[in-house]
A and B are shown apart, each in its own frame.
Chain A
Amino acid sequence: MLLSDKTPALMIAAQQDALLCSQLSQLTNVNKIPTESESFSVDLLSSELQADERFQHTRELIKDRHQSQEAVYALILREYLIEKDFACRHPIYASYFARRYQARVSYEDCHEPVPFYLFDSNQGSQLVSIDPKQVREVHLVFASEGEGVASSFGHVSVRLLVCPDMSSSLESCQRNLFNHVFLGYVARIDGFSMNLLKGFFGGYDAHLFGSTFREVFRANTLLVDRDLYSLPLNLSAQQVEQVVRDLSEIHWSYRGNYRFITANCATLLQDLLNKALQLEGQSDAELNFLRPDSLFNKLKNSPLTRGEVLVSLEKAESQGYFFPRNRIYYQQALNTLADVIDSYPYANLEQYDQTRAAQRMYDVLVSNSVYATLANNDYLLEAQLLLEERQLVYLQFELFRKVIDIVIELQLLDVMQAQLQTLPNSLDKKLLQHCYVQPLLQIQMLVPRFDGIPDIGALTDFQSNTDWQCGSQQAQQKIFNMMASAVPDDHQHMKELKVLEQELVQTLDNIETLEALF
């Protein structure tokens, strides 16, 4: 692309302004690479080559690597003008410059898909590549308020409606649910527990966190009772592509400071939305909310979105715009059982939850009427199965939290490192290092930051390596053996852990017993 195509307005101005023309020529001299310190004197630069307010907003989106606040504009402009793949790596700046100098930003030379690293607590995190042209819609996703301090006003994130291919119908794209990408700003907690003071006054690293649909569904509608509303933004295909590229750049580059009140998921996300929806600088239209629920309510009733998809939640659920808390379905299962079986032993979910696994199965088997009804009615049997599966999901999560409690209290990360030092160099040591020590220590490290969107090839650390068979029985036995001496059996947490494990085993056995009745 020619310079005149990248900045037509600037070229026209330069034709009429000798100083600007000279400065532009100096700026684009490929033989002289200016450093930040000795670069252009801001006072002498023409106003066309100086940062404006919108540029400062743009910089906030990615927190670029430059230290200088003043000369950085010209340096980045220079990169935009002379680097061929600048727009592929820095779409946020590229779109800013294109808009300021009245050009059309082009990604025709960007042939590679953009990467995202998506968290999934069951499958493990995964690196995915998304072709921006395969994203049909961008949604603002609102998770209704939770009971924790950090989520009392809900949580907002963005969803990319990724299609199977470019020619897919909208319904086919909607059905491709398990390949949709979710991105939301979160506090990256550099330890195992959250410090509320740091949460309020800053200190936690904020970044745009990627998740799979399964993870978002699990973390919101299953493990806690939150409803998910997915609100489509009114964007053209070009705008969608721009947002996808912007999000990838932010995902890999932005490392900010999270505060529950002033720099939270809503405030950080709406900076991006203001850019995407071109609301920057429009004081009456610009999104400027501190609370996620306020932002969502504003947008839901705005022409910037297609809020009508949420008018009928029944329809929204069938189209994938609404995902209610699953508690209502489990309640429905229990109500159905209680309505049909007079002697059904549970009146509500709370009562069911408070009953240990062995007792629950005993209650089902020992009553002839309950047993006979379930054995002869697959629909009711499935309802009973659901109630047990819910317990399994909770117990699995609780087991995870219990282990974390133990790791914190007994400082097992330190123990693990010390124990590893004593081992001779061997394949076992490398396996423990690779599968457990390195991943766990990453919790305390900063998230790596990239200068713009990285090449997939540069993300080898993020690609899953199956060579080590992490998670295998052998690997687990080895780490357990190493840690066993550091964890006394009579520790209260360990006793509780054993109870959990027993409950987990019994609950799985309950499920298998019910399945055998089908």
Chain B
Amino acid sequence: MKKTSLILFALGSPVAMADNALIGIYCQENTNGAEVYVNDELKFECSDFAREAVVLEEGSYQIKAVQNINKEQEKVFIQQVDATADRPQRVRITMPQQASLTAYGLAMKEQREAEAARKLALEKERLAKQAVQTDLAQAGDGDLEAMQRVIKRYETGEGLEKDPLQVDYWRQQYTASKEKKERYEKIAQLESELENNPYFYWLGLFPRAIANSNASESSTLITGLPFYTIGDLISSPSVYFTRKDIEERLDTIEGHAVRWAKPDSMVAKASQ
């Protein structure tokens, strides 16, 4: 009541308005303990709903309230005020929801981050070394992807010292292992095909092409049409690309035997 009267008195006093400016500072709820500074000069400490009048010369002032949360955190209120003699100003201090870091807090944060980064780097290094050992072990066991990684490591120096001899060695290992893997995959696929093809066994008619290939020479004379015109009619669309692939290969395939057996024949020479 007393403070309120003082502010009302000060705001209404003609003396005060003569050459000084008056700023009423109203501490709002949850401002207990906040230190109020005017242009960095401590003026008073807030308590909830406290009001203080500050008489100043006309000018521009920064009103700052700092409420310490702990050593590393604080809440800060800042407002800029233009103080004039003819018009008292009112500043309502409300502390923000979010606390900010104190200088000490900032320093501690940086310290913690640096420590985390150091630990991360150490962990990365440990994992990288572990990956190299794993790659070498897996590559030694014939893992194709691991071999490719080892080759790359020896080429780039990533995890292993650059070594062209090791690159060559692992490339050879890779090619050999790849062929072996593909060979056994293919064998398994062919075994499955031989077991599962239901047509071949009971038809008992194949391959007619070779057995009867001399029986009629008329077919190529019949139509004057390319194979595809006939083949397209009822051949399964699923073999379309196989047929196309064969059509594209035929010109090369048809002279291949002569080129292999008689490279000086005219067919071989004309094919070059």
Contact = CB atoms under 8 A, between A and B. Distances in A.
Interface of A: 119-125, 146-148, 150-151, 174-178, 186-189, 191-194, 209, 214-215, 217-219, 222-225, 317-320, 323, 326, 328-330, 332-333, 353-354, 356, 358-359, 361-362, 365-366, 371, 375, 382-383, 385-386, 389-401, 403-404, 406-407, 412, 416, 435-436, 439-440, 442-443, 470-471, 473, 475-477, 479-480, 483-484, 487, 494-506, 508, 513, 516-517
Given A125-B224, A365-B187, A400-B219, A475 B232 contact: yes
Name the interface size band of chain B: 35 or more
Nearest to B253: A389
A508 B270 CA distance: 26
Nearest to A148: B217
Contact of A471 (B232, B236, B264): B232
Contact of A508 (B191, B199, B246): B246
Nearest to B208: A398
Given A146-B214, A406-B234, A436-B232, A318 B251 contact: no
B169 interface: no
Most buried by B among A326, A401, A412, A475: A401
A386 B261 CA distance: 10
A447 to B, nearest CB: 9
Given A494-B234, A502-B197, 17 more contacts: A146-B217, A175-B266, A225-B214, A320-B267, A353-B210, A385-B256, A386-B256, A390-B257, A394-B209, A395-B207, A400-B231, A412-B233, A412-B234, A416-B233, A443-B223, A508-B242, A513-B186
A29 B231 CA distance: 57
B220 A223 contact: yes
Interface string B45-82: 00000000000000000000000000000000000000
B134 interface: no
Interface string B234-267: 1111111111111101110111111011101111
Contacts of B193: 358, 506
A392 B252 CA distance: 12
B190 interface: yes
Interface of B: 179, 182-183, 186-187, 190-191, 193-194, 197, 199-200, 203, 205-211, 213-247, 249-251, 253-258, 260-262, 264-267, 269-270
B226 A120 contact: yes
Contacts of B261: 328-329, 332-333
Contact of B253 (A393, A404, A442, A513): A393
Contacts of B182: 516
Nearest to A317: B265
A332 to B, nearest CB: 5
B226 A503 contact: no
A103 B208 CA distance: 59
Contacts of A393: 250, 253-254
A177 B207 CA distance: 33
Contact of B187 (A225, A318, A362, A440): A362
